C-alpha cells in the first residue's frame, strides 16, 4: 500500500518562512576495512580543510560505532553545491573516494530548523560554539 506522493514543492510550501537552505549530505563508508582508510586519512583531512576554506563544506565528521568508543570508518559531510550532480562531483574528488578506500552516496537535504550560538571575545580572541 502506498500513500500520496509528496513533492519538493509541497515541503517548501509547508516550511515557508523557515531557512530552506538546500544542502547535500555525503555518506561515506569503507570498502575494504580500515587499512585503506587509514592510509588515506592525511590526504582526506587536507581535502576536507580545503572544502572548508573554500566555503563548500558546512560540517563533517566521523560516525562512532554504537559503543561510542570505536570507529568503523564511516563518516558524513554536509556540502554546498549547485545540484546533486555537482555534489557528487565534489565527493568523488575526495582522496578517500578516488582511491577506492571508501564508497559514498549523496542525498539532497533541506536545512529548515536548528540553532547555533557563536560567542567571540574580542579582548582575548577566544571563541565558543554551542
Taking only the tens place, the pLDDT of each residue in 11-68 is 999 999 999 999 999 999 999 999 999 999 999 999 999 999 999 999 999 999 999 9
Q: 58-104 pLDDT, tens per residue?
A: 999 999 999 999 999 999 999 999 999 999 999 999 999 999 999 99
Instruction: Tell me how far apart the alpha carbons of residues 76 and 26 are, in angstroms, rounded to a whole number.
Output: 5
pLDDT value of residue 1: 59
Q: How far is Cα 60 from Cα 7, in angstroms, rounded to an integer?
A: 28
| 3-class DSSP assignment, residue 46 | helix
* pTM of the predicted protein model: 0.91
Sign of dihedral through CA atoms 117, 8, 60, 42? negative
The 3 state secondary structure assigned to 52-83 is HHCCCEEEEEEEECCCCCCEEEEEEEEECCCC
Helix spans in the chain (H): 8-14, 34-53, 84-92, 95-98
CB distance 76 to 95 below 8 Å: no
Of the pLDDT bands very low, low, confident and very high (cuts 50, 70, 90), residue 3 is confident
Domains of the chain: 19-129 (3.30.70.1060)
Amino acid at each position: 500500500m502506498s500513500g500520496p506522493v509528496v513533492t519538493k514543492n509541497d515541503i517548501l510550501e509547508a516550511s515557508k518562512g523557515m531557512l530552506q537552505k538546500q544542502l547535500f549530505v555525503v555518506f561515506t563508508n569503507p570498502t575494504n576495512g580500515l587499512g585503506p582508510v587509514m592510509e588515506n586519512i592525511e590526504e582526506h583531512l587536507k581535502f576536507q580543510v580545503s572544502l572548508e576554506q573554500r566555503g563548500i563544506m558546512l560540517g563533517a565528521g566521523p560516525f562512532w560505532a554504537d559503543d561510542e568508543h570505536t570507529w568503523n570508518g564511516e563518516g558524513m559531510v554536509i556540502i554546498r553545491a549547485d545540484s546533486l550532480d555537482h555534489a557528487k562531483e565534489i565527493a568523488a574528488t575526495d582522496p578517500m573516494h578516488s582511491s577506492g578506500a571508501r564508497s559514498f552516496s549523496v542525498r539532497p537535504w533541506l536545512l529548515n530548523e536548528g540553532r547555533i550560538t557563536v560567542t567571540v571575545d574580542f579582548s582575548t580572541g577566544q571563541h565558543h560554539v554551542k
